[in-house]
Structure formats: structure tokens, C-alpha cells
A and B are shown apart, each in its own frame.
Chain A
Amino acid sequence: MTNASSPLTAEQELHLIESYRTLTHLADTVQVPAVLASVRTCLAELRLALDGQAIDFDYYREPTRVLVA
């Protein structure tokens, strides 16, 4: 899950991954358009941050979820 070359601490990595999971869940469930727009934007940004630090996570979304997130 973590990468020794990342300048992030293990705790910071964990927070980022937890945030990504939380946002993914919100993107699946939130109904308020204005909130969903913010969540989608945050999710895209966070995905980039995680990937840029070589952290392994669910990079591609499941085809069944594509229409909501």
C-alpha cells in the first residue's frame, strides 16, 4: 500500500486513502447536485494525488458505478 520513496508519512497516506474511500462512497450516495459536484471534483483531485505518490488503490472505477461518479 505504501511506497518508501514517498515524502508523505504513513499517517498522511492513510488519511488520504480514507478520504478517497469516503468521497467514493459519497459520490455513490449524495443526491444534492451542488454537493455531488464538489465531491466529484475532490475525488478527481485526490485520485491524482494518490497516484502521484505511487500509492496503490482502486484507480479505475467499476463499470457499474460509472454513471454516478
Chain B
Amino acid sequence: MDYWNSTAETMPRERLESWRWRRLSRALDHARRSSPFWNARIPEGITSLADYTARMPLLYKADLLAAEEQAPPYGTWPSLDPSLGVRHHQTSGTSGNPPVRTFDTERDWVWCVDTFCTALYANGVRPHHKGMVCFGYGLLAGFWGMHYALERMGCTVFPSGGLDSRTRVRLLVEQRIEVLGLTPSYAMRLIETAREMGVDLAREANVRIILAGAEPRSDFTTRTIEEAFGARVFNAAGTTEFGGVFMFECPSRRNACHINEQSCYDEVLHPDTKQPVGYGEEGVRVTTGLSREGVQLFRHWTEDIVVRRPHTECGCGRTWDFYDGGILRRVDDMRKIRGVSVTPVMIEDVVRSFDEVNEFQSSIRTVRGLDTVHVRVDAGELAGPAADALCGRIAEEFKREIGIRPVVELAPAGSLPRSQWKAARLHDERVLTPHG
């Protein structure tokens, strides 16, 4: 097994804990000395990791937004003068909240890129590979780090920011590109585009490694992407607030997403009691950054639902624990429909199991006082009895797998939104009542 940095990735657990405490301790000192926000929050005299988790308050998104509002645009939480920033990034603000804005110093950016290198190297990327990054190259941090990581590793990178899907497919074939970075949603879009162009990606292109991040995906979607490209799909995730990649999937064990424990100190807490849960139990990921100097993060309540497992269950030699299945969902993703818990990934798993479906959208509506799931599917040019039969089969499978019979209808070909970034395919349109 090769590692990007064997010292950090295979450090014996006891030494790793000691090292991380030293790093956390100096990070706390820096924050207290330099940030009014953190100076007010960090308790005096923290003596150990255990003491830290017992006394340091949790940080919620609302706290960050309130700090931003006090001193726009970055607020009172930076630990260095923002004029030292060499990059600005911000969240999309799709949840209806204002975006969280951050900056990276030159040193922070080098670290961020290195977290991508750690992931990509683990996934099999090596110097001289060709890589293409499919995203908008805008304010979102997104795959910016992957672009620079490919350069740093000695790969040739194809920045495809302004290209349409057809041009990207052509580029994949012409340039024999081996590494691809995109969201699972956009991978499905490229597959659909290639089919329209009559291109068999598995046969005519040369993609071997796909880093598909930024959104939860079903196992079925992963398999579909792998079969269409003839490539291995790896999961990875980072956040704008954290500033780098905090987990990446290991080639040794499917769905084992190692936590980059060099760069973060993660806890998993019960969503209601906020107490630690054990290995194998679902909880909310709470993260502390150990590396960044400009914008620091301590005990951030991420709302990501994860299941943590010990590193020994992977067998790759890394001493970093892993999240089984990566980010399973967000706290607010779960919907109760007639007593049944439903998540977007559950719906995706059912609908994507039908080869005829190119894209879909789903919604929960109140019909005559009853919560009802509506699914619209784009099945290309399929029409008439064949289309009716497909809708019927999807409804049957939905009922069998999830326990609710949905209303399934056909959408005109190409009419449903395709996403390059985080796709929203479940919309809650229920009418709230005073008792609801």
C-alpha cells in the first residue's frame, strides 16, 4: 500500500492522539490570541482533548452567520487579517441562509491542496496521469483544490469550467483522460450526454478513477457510474468552513471513507443529547480543524449524519478511522411521510434502478389532507403504453422498498433540471397546519 504521507497516515494511534493534542493546543492559542470571536468562546486552561470536548461549546452555523453580520464580510471569527487571503470562497446559500464567507492564506491553500493530494493518491492517482475537473470554477470551494492537487502531483489537468457536456465527453475520448472529478449528479449527466452522442464511455474513453464528491449518493448511482465509465468511483468530501477534504474513500474497502485525522479532530454526537455515540452508531459529525491559520473552526456542528468505524476494520494500514458510507445524509434531509422516514438517497436508489430513467424530481405534497410522494421521471423519448408501464413499475418498486405508493408521472424529455453541483431532487411542498 502506498501513501501520500506515510508518517501521518500510519502513525500509531497513541502517538497520533498526542500529536493532535499538541496541534489543537497551538491552534487554540493562535485563535485566542488573534480572533475576538474565538477569544470570547474558548474556555481558559484547556488541558487535554477530553477536557476540550467537555468544555468547548459547539459551534452552529447560526453562530458563524451572526459573527459575519457583526463585521461583514468575514465577521469576527478570522484569526488573521483577511488582507493576507489569496483566495475567497463562500457557500452557495441554497438553504435560504446568507452564505458563509471564508478566505485562505497562501499557507492555508497549500494545506487545502495537500488534503486533496492525500485523497487522490489513495485513490490511485499518480504523476503523469491526465485529469479533468468538471465544475464551475466559481465562488464555491468545490473542486478548486482538486485542480491544484493534480498539478501538485505532477498530473496534466484539463480545467473544463466553461465547457458544455458534449465538449467534455469529446475531450475525455480525445485526450485519454484517466482521472475525473465531479458530482455524482453531473456524472449521470455526462453518461446521458455520451449516450445521446453515441459514445460508449467504457469502451471509447479511458477514465479509470472518478472522484465523485459534494453530495450523498445511492449505491445504485455509484454502480451505474462505474459501469458506464468502466472506472472506479471514489467518495470524498470537504466543506468551505473546514477549508479542505476531511474524508476520502479507501480502495481497500468499499465505502470506507477515512477521516483525515492529521487535519481534523472529529467527534460523532447524538443529534438530540449531543453526547458521544460509539463506533457503529449513527450521529452528527462535529469537527475541529487543526491546520488552518486564517479561518479556524472548533467543534463545528456540521449536521452531517455519519457512522464511524475503527481503522482496524479497513486493513489498508492507515491508522485513521473511517466513516462507513461517508456522509449518509444531512440532519434535515430526513422526511416523515405517513410515519415512514424517507431520505433523498432512498428515493434515488429506487428510481435510478430503472435504466430507462435519465433524470428525476420528487416532491412531497398534501393531497386531500394526506402526505403524498410525487415522482416525475425523464425517460427520454419513451411514450404511450411503455411509458405507463415504466411509471407503474417504479411505483411498485417504491412501495416495495420504501413502503409508500407514490404518484409517478412522465416528464417531457430534457425538461427536468440537470445539475453540475449539488442536485436537489426532493422538495417538501406540504401544507403545514398548526398541528402539523
A3 to B8, CA, bound (A): 11
Contact status B106-A41, CB under 8 Å: yes
Q: Chain B nearest CB: distance from A46 CB in Å?
A: 10
Which of B26-34, B370-378, B426-434 forms contacts with chain A?
B26-34
Q: Decide: A52 near B26, CB < 8 A? Known: A61-B293, A66-B84.
A: no
Name the residue in A6, A54, A63, A66 with the highest tally of chain B Cβ atoms < 10 Å from its Cβ: A54
Q: Can you list 8 contacts pairing A with B, beta carbon distance less than 8 Å? A: A3-B15, A5-B7, A5-B12, A44-B105, A44-B110, A59-B26, A60-B29, A66-B81
Contact status A6-B293, CB under 8 Å: no
A60 to B294, CA, bound (A): 10
Q: Chain A nearest CB: distance from B162 CB in Å?
A: 27
Give residues 97-122 of B contacting A (CB, 8 Å).
105-107, 109-111, 114
Give residues 26-68 of A contacting B (CB, 8 Å).
40-41, 43-45, 47-48, 51-54, 56, 59-61, 63, 66-67
Q: Decide: A7 near B7, CB < 8 A? Known: A61-B293, A63-B34.
A: yes
Q: Decide: A56 near B22, CB < 8 A? Known: A5-B11, A61-B293, A63-B33.
A: yes
10 closest A-B pairs by beta carbon, nearest first, are: A60-B30, A44-B107, A44-B110, A44-B106, A52-B5, A48-B110, A6-B7, A53-B7, A54-B19, A5-B11
Contacting residues, chain B, for A51 (C-beta < 8 A): 291
Within 8 Å by CB of B114, from A7, A43, A52, A54, lies A52
Contacting residues, chain B, for A47 (C-beta < 8 A): 107, 110
Interface of B is mostly: helix
Number of A-B contacts (CB under 8 A): 59
Please name the residue on chain B nearest to A47 by beta carbon.
B107
Contacting residues, chain A, for B33 (C-beta < 8 A): 63
Contacting residues, chain A, for B110 (C-beta < 8 A): 44-45, 47-48
A53 to B291, CA, bound (A): 13
A3 to B11, CA, bound (A): 10
With A43-B107, A67-B83 already in contact, 16 other A-B pairs whose C-beta atoms are closer than 8 Å: A3-B19, A5-B10, A6-B7, A41-B106, A44-B105, A48-B107, A52-B5, A52-B262, A53-B5, A54-B8, A56-B22, A59-B23, A60-B29, A63-B34, A66-B81, A67-B81
Contacting residues, chain A, for B23 (C-beta < 8 A): 59
Please name the residue on chain A nearest to B262 by beta carbon.
A52
A27 to B29, CA, bound (A): 23
Contacting residues, chain B, for A67 (C-beta < 8 A): 81, 83-84
Contact status A54-B106, CB under 8 Å: no
Q: Chain A nearest CB: distance from B198 CB in Å?
A: 46
A63 to B39, CA, bound (A): 14
A45 to B110, CA, bound (A): 7
Q: Chain A nearest CB: distance from B119 CB in Å?
A: 15
Give residues 1-15 of B contacting A (CB, 8 Å).
5-8, 10-12, 15
Contacting residues, chain A, for B169 (C-beta < 8 A): none
Q: Chain A nearest CB: distance from B352 CB in Å?
A: 39
Question: Chain B 372-399 against A: per-residue CB contact (8 Å), 1 yes, 0 no?
Answer: 0000000000000000000000000000
Contact status A5-B15, CB under 8 Å: yes
Contact status B26-A60, CB under 8 Å: yes
Contacting residues, chain A, for B49 (C-beta < 8 A): none
Asked if B411 CB lies within 8 Å of chain A CBs, one says no
Asked if B80 CB lies within 8 Å of chain A CBs, one says yes
A53 to B30, CA, bound (A): 21
Please name the residue on chain A nearest to B118 by beta carbon.
A52
A52 to B23, CA, bound (A): 11
